[in-house]
Each structure stands twice: as C-alpha cells, then as structure tokens.
Structure 1
Amino acid sequence: MGLLTEIQNDALSDTTPVATLLRKVLVLASNIDSDLLEDWVRHELHGYPADVEVPKYRTMGIAFKASGATIAAQYNNMPIAQLVVERAAKNKEVSTFKCRQAIGTILPDQLGDSGTCRLNFDNYLPLIEREMNEGVSLFSFWGEISAALVVGIVDAVRSRVLDFVLALKNDTRMRERSTV
C-alpha cells in the first residue's frame, strides 16, 4: 500500500490518532517538497506560535460568566456580555479564543459531559467589576467555549487531510491521462 492510500485510509478512520495521521502527511509533504503543507502540519503537531495566524477552524467565540454577590443576592453562572468584557479589557479580541495548542493535546474523550470547556479569566475580575453596577462583588470570572467546537478542530484537520489527498490523487490521474 502506498503512502497516499495509507493516509487516505487513516483520514477516513476515527481510530487512527490525528497526530499519527499528520506525521504521515509530514513525510508526504517532505517527499513532494511542499513547504506550505509541511508548515501547516508542523503547526498542527507542535502548536501555533503567537506570530502565526490561526486557521478559522481553530477560532471560536467565548461566552463569559461570573459568580458574585451584592448585599441583597448571590449570583452563580451569571452571563456577562461580550461587549462589557471587550470594553473593560480595551480589547475586541478578548472574546475570541484562538486554539493554538498541538492537535495531540486535544483529547475528545476527556472533554467531559458538560458540553463546555472553561477558561479562567479571574485576572480580569477588577476590570469587569468596574464596568458593572456598583455594589457587585465578583468571586470568579470565566469564559466558556463549546466542547463540540474543540472536538471539531480534530475533525476539521482530518477532513482537510482527506481533501488534500483526494485532490492530489485526482491531479495525478489528470496528469496520467494527459500523457496518454
């Protein structure tokens, strides 16, 4: 079985770890001398550095929540509008999570049953309190992203590999036909 067919079969199989699939694609990228493909695979395997743009499938919105109290009541899981957080942080991108971690660290089976992944934003507590009504004291502040979107990163990578392999196979067939 050739490398291209092996990669295609692995891309179709949910049992092959995506990191294993990508290592095979890295070999293929080297064999066909594709720096663009090699760079993408290396970023997926090792993570995206801060100076590299993250692909759209790795970018997701954050829903903010807080727990706190006033003199009259206590609040748990209180939604905080993205606009409030962006204004407090003076940063419009604070409400967007760019998943830069290596693909091998995204473990769909370990994301839990809650349906969300929690991001700690306690360092923003003083800023958010200033933006809210007086008398509100916050105990914790966090962001949530959909676990399905995080799992979707793994699926998007697998699908991109399959699309690439099929296009490469199709291109090879077209070249073979034109030489006949």
Structure 2
Amino acid sequence: MDSLVLDLQRDALDRTISISDLLRKALMVSKKLKIRDIEEWLNHELNGYPKGMLPSYRILRGELKAFNPYAGWIPVTLQADFHDLVEKHSLYDSVSRITYLVEECKDESVIIKFPSRLNSAFMSLTKTDFQPGLQIPTYKLIGILDQTKTKVLEFALDLEERGILGEGVRFSKAEEQRAQSITYNTINIQRMENSQLQQATDSSAQRGPRQ
C-alpha cells in the first residue's frame, strides 16, 4: 500500500505540483499525526500569518523608490535611519498570494505600497507629492516559496528517519507517538513572535508600474 509520507517527498520534488497542494498534503499528514507546531506553520503558510508572528525567511529587504509621474519609479536617498525603518518588509501573505505576484509580475521586481502615515512622513521629508514604495526583486519572493517547499521535504524526510511512513492515509498509534517530539526546530523554522518589523509596510504586496 502507498505511503503518504513517501508521496509527500515525491510531491515536494515535483515542479508540476502547486505549492498550495503540497502544503495541504503536508497539513493532512501533520494533523493525522497531531504535530501541532508543524500544523500551525502550514496553516499560516496557506492562509497568511497573524501580525507579530513570522519566520525569519519571510523578512525581506528592498530598495526605497518614489513614483514620479513623468519618470516612473525612481531611486530615493534620505537619512539612513529612515531607510532602515522602511527597507525591511514583513511578508504576511499566503503562499497563494505570493505565487500570484510572481506569476503576474512582468518585471524583475514588485512594488510594496506603504501605509498612509509613512507616505506622509516621506512626502514631508522629500517636500514632494511623490508616492513612495519598496521595490523587492521577484527572486526574493520565489526564494520564500522555495524555502517553504524545502521545509516540507525536510519534514517528510524526518518522518521517514523516525520510521513514520503510514499506510495509505492512516498512521498507527506507535507512529503518532513517535511524531510528538517534532517541533518548529525540526525543520529549522525560526519563528519571530511580536516582530517589530511589521510597522514598516502594509502586509499586502502589489505589482508596481514598469520603471
């Protein structure tokens, strides 16, 4: 009979399997085995993260830009402390949203829009009405998706090492017990609680105009 864990390993290596489908299968495995940490992580990846709770691989750094109606998005240089404040972005979006941004992006980057209070601060500093944005290379978004898939593979490989394979879509009580020591640390997820980076930008990314 097929093993759900071995199927999960194969799916993690199959580029034709969508990341959302991969995560749903991993969620089924973690839920059947009652692995709460992994179940929580998978739910956040599928549905988006709550404010203040984010793995370190979802903290991105971009470049501050301003939209000039005649020249498009242009580089901006201000005081270093302002750049430090706004050039890090906490990406709380679901993997499906990130996938959409990557697939729809016609350029090599996306523009993250700022909340109104930072817009006002920026316009006051620059004495313009140019709208600011954070330009993030698309490859960094792809990197989040790749890291997520890799962590699912690490999870499935760790289960196999512990002798947890399942039979069909069922696991034995012994397998369930062996799985209880699996935590965030098992697949190297550095969870950041009460992150102070969330003030930098809005949680949702948007495609920006071409430069």
Q: TM-score, normalised by structure 2?
A: 0.67
Counterpart of 1:156 in structure 2 is: 147
Q: CA deviation at 1:76?
A: 4.6
| Structure 1 CA distance for aligned equivalents of residues 78 and 150 of structure 2 | 31
1:113 matched to which residue of 2? 106
The equivalent residue for 2:49 is 48
Q: Show CA shifts across 1:149-173 (max 9, x none).
A: 1111111111111111112212228
Q: Size of the alignment, in residue pairs?
A: 161
**Which deviates more, 10-19 or 92-101?**
92-101
Runs of 4+ in 1 over 6 A off after TM superposition: none
Tell me, in whole angstroms, the C-alpha distance in 2 between the residues paired with 1:41 and 1:20. Answer: 11
Counterpart residue type for residue 120 of structure 1: K
- Structure 1 residues 78 and 121, CA gap change in structure 2 (3 angstroms): same
Structure 2: gaps of 5 or more residues:
165-211
Greater helix fraction, Structure 1 or Structure 2: 1
- Which of residues 82, 89, 109 in structure 2 aligns to 1:86? 82
Q: CA deviation at 1:114?
A: 1.1
Matched, 1:137 2:128: yes
Q: CA deviation at 1:44?
A: 0.6
State the alpha-carbon separation in 1 of the partners of residues 79 and 104 from structure 2. Answer: 28
Equivalent position amino acid for 1:169 in 2: E
Percentage of identical aligned residues: 24
1:48·1:100 contact (CA, 8 Å) conserved in 2? yes
> Quick one: higher RCO (CA 8 Å, sep 6+), 1 or 2?
2
**1:7 pairs with 2:8:** yes
Give the greater-gyration-radius structure (CA): 1
TM-score by length of 1: 0.77
Give 1:82 deviation, angstroms: 6.8
TM-superposed deviation, 1:140: 2.4
CA drift of 1:40 comes to 0.4
| 8 A Cα contact 1:26 1:42, kept in partner | yes
Q: How large is the RMSD of aligned CA atoms in angstroms?
A: 2.5
Gaps of 5+ in 1: 174-180
Q: Deviations over 1:86-111 (max 9, x none)?
A: 27xxxx54321111111122226524
